[in-house]
Structure 1
Amino acid sequence: MTELFSPEWMQAYAQQWNTEPELTEALGKIHFSSVIGYGFEDESEPRGVISIVNGQVTYAGTYNSQKLNWDLRADSHHWQQWLTNGLNMMGVSMAYMTRKLQFRVGDYLAMIKDPRMAGPFIKSFTVMSRV
């Protein structure tokens, strides 16, 4: 298995993302463009990053001080748990409230209240599990 958030893992994640219409089409409709970092809660910077333009991942790889719109962190145990079991809306809310899933950058509450973004956010965890 490729190391979580390594450049190879991020590129495989991007390939899966770009083949998932519930992400690409849904986010394309709202012209969603963002830079999202992923990493571990005990590290100062994210390990991996994806750049999204109108719903499509255009870059995936190592974090190199890019300006982030979102920075998602958790410990390795919880990342693995979510990759294995998935994550639904209630699970995301509980993970956020208990700080198992941290948003170092980004407005979780605004995102989760917008169904145009909340659905794709949940779907992104399903896509992660395919890597």
Structure 2
Amino acid sequence: MSDVAVMSPEWAQAYRHLWNGSAEIRQGAKDLTMLIEWRVQDADDQVAQLEIADGEAIYGGSQIEGRKPDFVLTATSNVWHRVAEGEIGVASAIATRKIKFVGPIKVAMANMAVLSAGLRLVGQVDGLVWGD
């Protein structure tokens, strides 16, 4: 497997398969339809989107032209790495702005369990290079 930069379009394609392979995440997100944008702070080439429809990840890749994401999550690669390892909790990372979060916070808080489970998958992509 070749190197895959975290939050790159290639990462998003692989992450989509991990998302769909998790019964816990798909069940927890079954009522959610949204477009999520993931960013590595200060790395313009590390931006990816994941589209969820009724809990299923139907798209993972580069930014979709003309579509505004429902949620944007931005952090340094080091913070993404620490969140994926469980060293930093998702709610804490958002509350302390280690993860800069743009979107309806009430929706995120109401779905914190699935958001946390999804963020733990971030580091499970084969060939992942953190860059931190």
Normalising TM by the smaller chain, what interval? Answer: 0.7 to 0.9
The Cα shift of 1:110 comes to: 4.2
Query: Hey, what's the Cα distance between the residues in 2 that align with 1:99 and 1:36?
Result: 17
**Correspondence for 1:98:** 96
The 8 Å contact of residues 14 and 50 in structure 1, kept in 2 or not, is answered as yes
Deviations 1:66-114 (A, max 9, x none): 211100011121112222x1267xx22321222111112x1224421x2
Q: Does 1:129 align with 2:131?
A: no
Secondary structure in 1 matching 2:15: helix
The Cα shift of 1:44 comes to: 7.2
Q: Which has the higher contact order (CA 8 A, sep 6+)?
A: 2
Q: Does 1:48 align with 2:48?
A: yes
Secondary structure in 1 matching 2:35: strand
The Cα shift of 1:43 comes to: 5.7
Query: Hey, what's the Cα distance between the residues in 2 that align with 1:9 and 1:24?
Result: 19
| Cα-Cα RMSD | 2.1
**TM-score (normalizing by structure 1):** 0.81
Over 3 Å counting, the alpha-carbon distance change for 1:21 and 1:87 in structure 2 is farther
Deviations 1:35-90 (A, max 9, x none): 0000023367971001111100111101134211100011121112222x1267xx
Over 3 Å counting, the alpha-carbon distance change for 1:45 and 1:103 in structure 2 is farther
Q: Per residue, is there more helix in 1 or in 2?
A: 1
**Correspondence for 2:130:** none
Which amino acid counterpart does residue 124 of structure 2 have in structure 1?
A: R
Runs (5+) with no aligned partner, structure 2: 126-132
Runs (5+) with no aligned partner, structure 1: none
